[in-house]
Amino acid sequence: MSYRLFERFGVELEYMLVREDTLDIAPIADQLLFEAGASSDGDLPRGMFSWSNELTNHIVELKTATPVGNLERLHTSLHSEITWFREQAALQGCTLLPTAMHPWMNPSTETMLWPHGNAEIYQAYDRIFHCQGHGWANVQSTHLNLSFSGDAEFARLHAAIRILLPLIPAIAASSPLVEGKPSGHHDSRLLFYRDNQSRVPEIAGSVIPEPLYSEAGYREGIFKPIAKAMQAHDPDGILELDFLNSRGAIARFDRGSIEIRLMDIQECPAADLAILEVIVEALRWIVKTIDVESIKTVPTETLANLLWQTARTGGDAVVEIDDILDLWQFTEPVPASVIWQALFDEVGASLSKSALRTFASILVTGPLSDRIQNATGKHPDHDQIAKTYRKLANCLATNRLFKN
């Protein structure tokens, strides 16, 4: 069924399974999913949601089974599902850990790929890209699917998304630690994500999608180069184009949606859904208020350069792109956090009470990466990191924001 622009939304959340006592990763997703009645490929439907596995055996994904009409109060239903899964994990001495990267995992020695249904797909990825790295085995994100119908709606939505993408790490970064040390970046996940398929650069491009505004143009400009580049690596066509495309926002013409996948996952669904509500309302505001023709031609590399700035420095990244500044009538460069405050001022009245309250707090305290760094300090030892991430696990259990 085809839905009109902004008529339906899909949400996907990825979490790490860890041991309760040590917080080390626990590759038992298959055991937990199968014991709960999952199919051979790990899919476990549960009413309006479903659980599944993502590539490695220590990651589980929770998603809406069908698109929903609005995001209000969805975080409470998601939290109920998380509570149920945590209870199953506790029987094996495990729990779920939020944030976009495990703070001390060594993927070269700890990665275990999913060995069951769809294993041939993961084996193909491993053969081509070598999945024993952070960019594959240690990147947990939140995905948002937004509906559209036809080329005209796709063009308006795609143009708005391209403009907003580089600003997202300024509010959603949650991965400042890598292998037990500060990485120097707010959003380390994105930097690993950018490089994990560099062997075939056509797959992720510049992460910011190209300025393409029709299905035919998108297939010619993105899908066709990917297919050609992959012929030598995947002659049997095991990997499908819809899944190979790894830009920060991907068009899914088969289901009439664009999937944004730039968000680091937060400490609790209340935080994730607040950020998603703001993104939806920001995009809605851009589409309704701005002549999107004026933003269609912003160069991909210009937007990508800003994306890597916000990935490194979060809300402090200075926005100098006139096309973005003009949207909120700024006449000189401003930090990305100031752009989000301006957006919040425009769309705040359209948010649910929970999202309004939660996002206002994020604007004051900064993204989760800021709060994690403040809690762990510049030169944290393992105990300090573990103490902080134990608090983060408790935030997931209670659906509350992390405050250091």
Is the overall model pTM greater than 0.85, yes or no? Answer: yes
> Residue 36 has what pLDDT?
97
> Residue 372 has what pLDDT?
98
CA dihedral 62, 66, 5, 249 (to 10 degrees): 30
Percentage of residues in the chain having pLDDT higher than 70: 100
Which one, of 246, 201, 243, lies nearest residue 225 by Cα?
201
- Mean pLDDT over 215-219 rounds to 98
Would you say residue 41 has pLDDT above 90?
Answer: no
> Residue 242 has what pLDDT?
81
Which one, of 99, 142, 100, 116, lies nearest residue 53 by Cα?
116
Per-residue model confidence as pLDDT tens digits over 288-316: 999 999 999 999 999 999 999 999 999 99
What is the pLDDT confidence band of residue 397, given thresholds at 50, 70 and 90? very high
User: What is the SS3 assignment for the chain?
Assistant: CCCCCCCCEEEEEEEEEEECCCCCECCCHHHHHHHCCCCCCCCEEECCEEEEEECEEEEEEEEECCCECCCCCHHHHHHHHHHHHHHHHHCCCEEEECCCCCCCCCHHHHCCECCCCCHHHHHHHHHHHCCCCHHHHCCCEEEEEEECCHHHHHHHHHHHHHHHHHHCHHHHCCECEECCEECCCCEHHHHHHHHCCCCCCCCCCECECCCCCCHHHHHHHHHHHHHHHHCCCCCCCCCCHHHHCCCCEEEECCCCEEEEEEEECCCCHHHHHHHHHHHHHHHHHHHHHCCHHHCCCCCHHHHHHHHHHHHHHHHHCEECCHHHHHHCCCCCCEEHHHHHHHHHHHHHHHCCHHHHHHHHHHHHHCCHHHHHHHHHCCCCCHHHHHHHHHHHHHHHHHCCCCCC
> Residue 214 has what pLDDT?
98
Whole-angstrom distance, CA of residue 80 vs CA of residue 384: 29
Would you say residue 404 has pLDDT above 80?
Answer: no
Q: Which domains does the chain have, with CATH numbers?
A: 9-393 (3.30.590.20)
> Residue 18 has what pLDDT?
98
> Residue 54 has what pLDDT?
84
What is the pLDDT confidence band of residue 200, given thresholds at 50, 70 and 90? very high
What is the pLDDT confidence band of residue 243, given thresholds at 50, 70 and 90? confident
> Residue 285 has what pLDDT?
97
For 83-113, letters b (16+ CB in 10 Å) and e give eebbeebeeeebbbbbbbbbbbbebeebbeb
Would you say residue 240 has pLDDT above 90?
Answer: no
